[in-house]
Amino acid sequence: MVKNVSADLVVVANRLPVDRVELPDGSKGWRTSPGGLVTAIEPVLRANEGVWIGWPGGTEEHLEPFEQDGLHLVPMTMSQDEIEGHYEGFSNATLWPLYHDLVAKPAFHREWWEAYQRVNRRFAEKAAEVAAEGATVWVHDYQLQLVPAMLRELRPDLKIGFYLHIPFPPAELFQQLPWRRQLLEGLLGADLVGFQLSGAAQNFVRLVRQRVGHKTHRDLVYLPDGRTVRAAAYPISIDAAGLEDLVQTEGVVKRSAEIREALGRPRKVFLGVDRLDYTKGIYARLRAFGELLTEGKLDVDDAVFIQVAVPSREQVEQYRILRDEIDRLVGRINGDLGEIGRPAIHYLHSSYPREEMAALYRTADVMVVTPYRDGMNLVAKEYVACRCQDDGALVLSEFAGAAEELRQAWLVNPYDLNGMKQALLDAYRADEKEVTRRMKAMRKTIKQHDVAAWAASFMTELADVPGSHGKTLRPPRDS
């Protein structure tokens, strides 16, 4: 048990990298939930004996800080009202659609905003409590945009970084938010505000100039108190080497062969892997595939689509509606076009272990990633990392952040159904040489820029922001 924590590095994120589980003896315990963020930050957290503050899910109270696999974790409690107002409400029904180009209509409720402020304040107070003198605090994502300013007020000695994992909208959309100025001022509490793409950083700087009235020059904001805030792009990535190792293990190779066999050894396997979210464009992509079958351009004997849709935000109404729509569409396509033992779409509303995901990536001949808007999209990068034989075609939305780096994918506009159908067909029919040429180029990009490089560049630049505070951190031991 870690009590009286005082850390030189504090990570603050909405979720902790663990889930609460029931142990065989009936007592409660923790299970690590490996994710991109923890892989990225773990080495520098360990080197500095850093702590991670976050919500473990649920409403359990009186949770003490604890250690799990060598990481110091500080759990935050949320009441049912706070989950509804802060998490399901303001974060996922106001900010999420607003920041994703209004793909769905955002709801504005004053009581959600109250809950958002309350929860942000509690996270900031906890960070202020556990951070050592001159420590670095790295705050993550849209659920906690007020934390930097609240924390700076409590602890002016800290070096504070903020990273937004989702897009930051253009001024024309952001302007709708009744609390736009407060959110901008919240972020300005940080020394460095990181985004996935440079366009997002530019949107932010422009809004700060227009709405808050601070002077700006390129990526710097000059505050009246003499501080500068930098806003820049740090495109997130994946643990490419780790995945490449995993996908070549005996178990994964065997499982991939089993999957292809179970599918009836089709000529080509299409794959989609997404949280079941309306930003991901699952409906339109399945419709495009269905139309190709109807028109006879594809045949269920040759082509099959596996769609993994991981359950997500099931308490939010728009997510329930989406689930019903996709259920109906898949039912219709399979009913109209499937044959005995050959459904057109294998629809899996579930989540799977990492090994199974790797086996699916290994099996897929055409990976289909078609979000209407996505900060980055790690699935696209993971697929590329898993294609050790330099084969496999990626169909990728122009509106995923990943499209800025993965230029050799078959890029599509997900709003253009005919364009998407053509891209699916082109990727399906492409000759081996063409597929290899494109995949080789993308693999080079992914290898050069992995998640460790992402975390290191953010931390290095946070340390270097002119006029910022705090002491220098130790680099990870193995670098």
User: How does 192-215 read in b/e, with b if 16+ C-beta sit within 10 Å?
Assistant: bbbbbbeebbbbbbebbeebeebe
Residues in CB range of 315: below 8 A, 6 or more apart: 84, 88
Give the nearer residue to ligand GDG in terms of CB position, either 376 or 459.
376
Q: Cα–Cα distance between 117 and 444 in angstroms, integer? A: 43
Is residue 179 near ligand GDG by the rule CB under 6 A? no
Is residue 244 near ligand GDG by the rule CB under 6 A? no
What element of type H or E holds 446?
helix 432-448
Site residues (CB under 6 A) for ligand GDG, limited to 71-110: none
Is residue 349 near ligand GDG by the rule CB under 6 A? no
Q: Cα–Cα distance between 409 and 439 in angstroms, integer? A: 8
Site string for ligand GDG, 186-225 (x = CB under 6 A): ----------------------------------------
Give the nearer residue to ligand GDG in terms of CB position, either 346 or 469.
346
Q: Using CB under 6 A, which of 94, 228, 377, 397 touches ligand GDG?
A: 377
Is residue 248 near ligand GDG by the rule CB under 6 A? no
Distance of closest approach, residue 465 Cβ to ligand GDG, in angstroms: 21
Is residue 351 near ligand GDG by the rule CB under 6 A? yes
Q: Where are the alpha helices (DSSP H) in 161-220?
A: 171-174, 180-187, 198-207
Q: Which residue has the tokens 């530019």?
A: 202
Kindly list the distances between the CA atom of residue 49 and the CA atoms of 166, 169, 452, in Å, as whole numbers in the listed order. Answer: 28, 35, 18
Structure tokens at 101: 């180009």
Distance of closest approach, residue 140 Cβ to ligand GDG, in angstroms: 9
Q: Using CB under 6 A, which of 273, 329, 385, 427 touches ligand GDG?
A: 273
Distance of closest approach, residue 478 Cβ to ligand GDG, in angstroms: 23
Amino acid at residue number 430: A
Measure the CA dihedral 28/8/230/215, to 10°.
110
Give the nearer residue to ligand GDG in terms of CB position, either 357 or 424.
357
Question: Which of the ranges 51-59, 199-207, 242-250, 375-383 carries the binding residues for ligand GDG, by CB under 6 A?
Answer: 375-383
Give the nearer residue to ligand GDG in terms of CB position, either 166 or 184.
166
Distance of closest approach, residue 449 Cβ to ligand GDG, in angstroms: 14
Question: Which of the ranges 15-23, 84-92, 212-220, 351-359 carries the binding residues for ligand GDG, by CB under 6 A?
Answer: 351-359
Question: Which of the ranges 218-226, 330-338, 376-384, 448-456 carries the binding residues for ligand GDG, by CB under 6 A?
Answer: 376-384
Structure tokens at 32: 């690590």
Contact of 92 with 100, CB cutoff 8 Å:
no
Is residue 275 near ligand GDG by the rule CB under 6 A? yes
Contact of 56 with 65, CB cutoff 8 Å:
no
Count residues binding ligand GDG (CB under 6 A).
Answer: 20
Q: Where are the alpha helices (DSSP H) in 131-263?
A: 147-154, 171-174, 180-187, 198-207, 240-247, 250-262
Q: Which residues lie near ligand GDG (CB under 6 A)?
A: 36, 165-166, 236, 273, 275, 308, 310, 351-354, 357, 374-379, 382
